[in-house]
Amino acid sequence: MKKVLDSQLYAGENSLLFEFTGGLDVDRRLYKQEIKVQKAWAKAMASAGYITSEELLALDSALDDALQDIKSGVFIWSLQDEDIHMNLERYLTEKTGELGKKIHLGRSRNDLIASTLRLFVHDQLEITEAKIRELVCSVQKKSTEWSDYLLPGLTHAQSGKVCSLGHMFLAHGWALTRDLRRHRLAAESCLESLPLGAGPFSGTQLNINLTALASELGFKSPLFHAYDAVGDRDFMIDAMQSFSTLAIHLARLSEEIIFWSSGPAGVMQLPAQWSTGSSVMPNKRNPDICELIRARCSRIIGYADSGSHLLKSVLPSYGSDLHELKKTFFLALDDIHACLTIFPKLIDGLEANETRCLELLNHGHVLATDIANILCEKGSSFRDAYRMTSSWVSEAEKQGKQVHELDSVKQLLKATPDFMTAVSLSDNLGGCSPKQRIISNKNLEKFI
């Protein structure tokens, strides 16, 4: 029976198979890291004597050409070559002849993609970190600008005690610093050990110095177990889980802005440049960015969950499911980067209405807890003070006043706290007093 040439396998109906199984749609984005790995492998082969120094120079030069061709958009991607590895091998063979066919000696696409992915995810996490820092700086800048804007702090979306808008807004900055730590840990896990040298799953037969190879590519160590190395995608799950928690925080920040910029609240004003108007109502601005971030964050959380579900069914070593995990990762990555890129621009343009903040202080009896504390200072137990203040709140409601405005309260306490005094008294660590806000800002800077 006549042997069928590879080129014939991609003709006619079989093209559908390779469109379905091919990986170029996502692999193209890995080209920088892939070429870096290819160069390191060629260098290791030369050090071990499998290719000459002249051959190494030729491969290096051809890989440099490939890098430039891909960057400039003239590299020819062939569906027939399935993935980035085979496309590069074909390119090298076209450039260097028989030499291009040597570079795949002693390795597999399994250990190659595992290595390339680790470098790529690491680099993307560093980009994400930089974007998070930019967002933290925007949040911190606004919190400082609004540090003296007093208004009711909320629990259960109900007025509680006097706080400052700056203190409340900076809470999001602290949440984002935790995201920074998670991303750093996820980035470090990418470079724990280098899969290259695992071959398909049993280890390479070449006498290559894998420790030196790992060091060359920035990994802490070479692989520990070949079968595990080619199928390990925990680092991608770690990254997507970091994205997922970050998405929770971005969505909560979005909710904060939507709430305070709403008509009934009226505390924040959306920047015209980063919001849209109504098609029929000329009097309003819509928080589209926040609403779309909130929606995309739901997707990001879903991608993280999807990635875990996908990985759980794959046997150790390699399965094509892992290619689908790449697609899931890219979807999450693109959404998280889109959100992080636009969010600082919106926040930088936000304005707060100090007059409206002060108006809100005269709703919700926000000095009630401070009045109860004064009773405690005069000798009452807290529960007795709580009950007494609660009865005053009920009386104030009947009179259409705030509790601190009742004559009976003023007479009994001799004096009632004002709003600024109430804030200033919250002067222990983490509190909302002016002194503690400065300390909190300085502490935040240590984490960014």
| Structural domains of the chain, ranges and CATH numbers in brackets | 6-105 (1.10.275.10), 110-206+225-359 (1.20.200.10)
Pairing of strands 351-352, 268-269: antiparallel
pLDDT of res. 14: 67
pLDDT of res. 417: 78
pLDDT of res. 368: 94
Residue 150, classed as helix, strand or coil, is strand
Contact 389, 431 (CB under 8 A): no
Encoded tokens for 360? 């809100």
pLDDT of res. 13: 53
pLDDT of res. 20: 76
Alpha-carbon dihedral sign for residues 253, 255, 256, 260? positive
Rg of the chain over CA atoms, in angstroms?
30
Q: Which residues of the chain have pLDDT under 70?
A: 1-14
pLDDT of res. 276: 85
> Exposure string (b/e) for 52-69, b if CB count within 10 Å is 16 or more?
eeebbebbeebbeebbee
Distances (CA, A) of 199 to 51, 92, 105, 112, 190: 19, 20, 10, 8, 19
Q: Which pTM was predicted?
A: 0.92
Contact 406, 389 (CB under 8 A): no
- What single-letter amino acid sits at 376? C
- What single-letter amino acid sits at 192? E
